Structure 1
């Protein structure tokens, strides 16, 4: 037991928090030592999520009441805007903080304020956070103190696009992403628009023209390619709990073709444990990655020779959030990135 590290899950009463709990039950080197929940402090974990009642988890408490000297890593599953002050308070007392919110994703504090509508009070710490798109951040993640996990839309968008951009196969000037997500992406808060009768048997776009994940995608595209871009992201909400699919129509660079794109993706992820480039012609489906840390992707010829269609799917709660958070922590410790994540998805 000397090699077991102690983990705290902040915001354990939310969807990403309980997903971290679910996954850590299978992790051989991590043990949950503390759970927090701002409005649920003092309650038993099994009363907050009945499916955890048999696990013998610690009761939820206020984060200020935790003995942080006993904690090695904190998984901060807190709302956007509520993370930065808490994280800065606990950062000196733990080896690693893995932040699942957006508070440390954007390097520019002015951009953060513009996107999230509040000031970032710790720009000097903002610059030190490692952006944890796992497959593209293995070296920076080594021994990272503060890990900023990507949003679910950026994860599902960037994983298939980054190899194509890095290999200079597609134009950066015309990246238009259409995305579909399940309802858990909106969190567990009560809302009229997320109630069953308001949401069922329909679908709608939201954040049209100004979704807050678009600047995050721009930032990473520029970091990889050195070229500024403005990605068009249009998300749609559909009545399913888990899942995300992104469809991007890309313009090919002159002299490039569909086969170049397939070969680029296959080369980029040939040794990946979690990213699969499907067989030619096979369409990615969210049901095939549900409950897993996997991303399935493929590329298709469009009707015109100078465009192609890139499709990827993930589970927004797992690879899009909590699973990637654990993958990032594994990488930061020099462990097998598969620890705690080597499970098949839910089916059906």
Structure 2
């Protein structure tokens, strides 16, 4: 059994990790930490886990945590995974970080966007960006996995076939993305107050969202040169889900059917990528509660643009589910172990 610790177990992503890992046949939940609820049972904070998870939440003790676990999941805001990563490496264990501390390879870029000093810079070179569909081999061989952000997951998976095949002009990329309010985390804030979000639809982080450099880093690697994007996220009055609509100018004459076949070939055999038939479009309801990413591609012959639609559950494929998928890759398990289920509907 793989002994697992979850740091930040009582946030939304952390709780989803606990739920998924508690049903994983190869995992033993060893330590769950929470700064706010230490001393309480996990099910006292999340009643849906009553009878499913019998663990007392603990204060974070880094040396103890790392010594008693094989893999540590950190489900914390940026800046908190660095001391854990240093201890993980010192003790020869593994880390899967759901935060942003190891996603960006350039220290200056991280510190500029996140306004935080990076105190584990020597580990950046060995950390692997945890998108299994693109970096499976590297994930299997690494001890530190930077679990991708939710918006970047949808965008990168949506654009990888186009950029890899040089089918679009990267300078024309426009990303219009929408997320449910759970993406903002469980902490109280005015912007996620019921009265503020219900019957409301609004943009936020316009031209300043911290997922922008992560998206640009990975798209640049796919394109083979530096890529700059226009990225605008929106908050929608739903709990779960991300729908990204992406526009770009085509570099060749091609039909929707031909592009769909290219996507199907690119993602052939991928357990969690569903390339939808031409004329069928992704919807957040179709992926809610699952680790799937639904993709569609449409050519607009009038404008010579391609329109890519990508839908994920921001807490599953955009966070906890992808983290479990990375765990499976690291231990050479079938990637759908603990994740082999459809979403919830309605």
Partner of 1:57: 54
Q: Which of the residues 335, 338, 341 maps onto 1:340?
A: 338
Specify every segment of 5 or more residues in structure 1 that has no aligned partner in the other structure, as ranges: none
**SS of structure 2 residue aligned to 1:55:** coil
Aligned to 1:13: 10
Aligned partner of 1:88 in structure 2 is 86
Where 2:252 maps in the other structure, the secondary structure is coil
- Judged with a 3 Å threshold, the aligned counterparts in structure 2 of structure 1 residues 177 and 162 are, in CA distance, closer, same or farther, namely same
Q: Distance in 2 between matches of 1:224 and 1:272?
A: 18
Q: Distance in 1 between matches of 2:44 and 2:133?
A: 36
Contact 2:66 2:72 in 1 (8 A): no
Q: Which residue of 1 aligns with 2:297?
A: 299
Does the 8 Å contact 1:152/1:321 carry over to 2? Answer: yes
CA shift for structure 1 position 71: 0.8
Query: How does 1:26-41 map onto structure 2 within 5 Å?
Result: 26-41=23-38
Alpha-carbon offset, residue 62 of structure 1? 1.6
Counterpart of 2:286? Answer: 288
| 1:133 maps to which of 114, 122, 131 | 131
- Structure-to-structure mapping, 1:252-331, within 5 angstroms: 252-302=250-300, 304-331=302-329
Deviation of the 1:278 alpha carbon = 0.6
C-alpha deviation, 1:54, in angstroms: 1.3
Which residue of 2 is the match for residue 151 of structure 1?
A: 149
Displacement of 1:90 in angstroms is 3.5
Residue 29 (structure 1) shift: 0.6
1:160 to partner: Cα distance: 1.5
List alignment gaps of at least 5 residues for structure 2.
Answer: none
Q: Give the secondary structure class of the aligned counterpart of 1:60.
A: coil
- Note if contact 2:179-2:233 (Cα within 8 Å) is conserved in structure 1: yes
Shift of residue 303 of structure 1?
Answer: 5.4
Note if 1:241 corresponds to 2:239. yes
Greater CA deviation, 211-220 or 259-268?
Answer: 259-268
1:169, 1:261 within 8 Å by CA — same for their partners in 2? no
Give the whole-Å Cα distance in 1 for the aligned partners of 2:141 and 2:17: 21
CA distance in structure 2 between the partners assigned to 1:329 and 1:95 by the alignment: 13
Q: Check whether the contact 1:243–1:315 (CA below 8 A) recurs between aligned residues.
A: yes
Counterpart Cα distance in 2 of 1:104 and 1:121 = 11
Q: What is the count of residue pairs matched by the alignment?
A: 345
Shift of 1:122: 1.7
Runs of 4 or more consecutive aligned structure 1 residues displaced over 4 Å after TM superposition = none
2:299–2:307: 8 Å Cα contact kept in structure 1? yes
Kindly indicate whether the alpha-carbon contact (under 8 Å) linking 1:165 and 1:225 is maintained by their aligned counterparts in 2: yes
Say whether the 8 Å CA contact 1:218–1:230 is kept in structure 2. Answer: yes
Q: Indicate the SS of the match to 2:247.
A: strand
Aligned counterpart in structure 1 of residue 197 of structure 2, from 192, 196, 199: 199
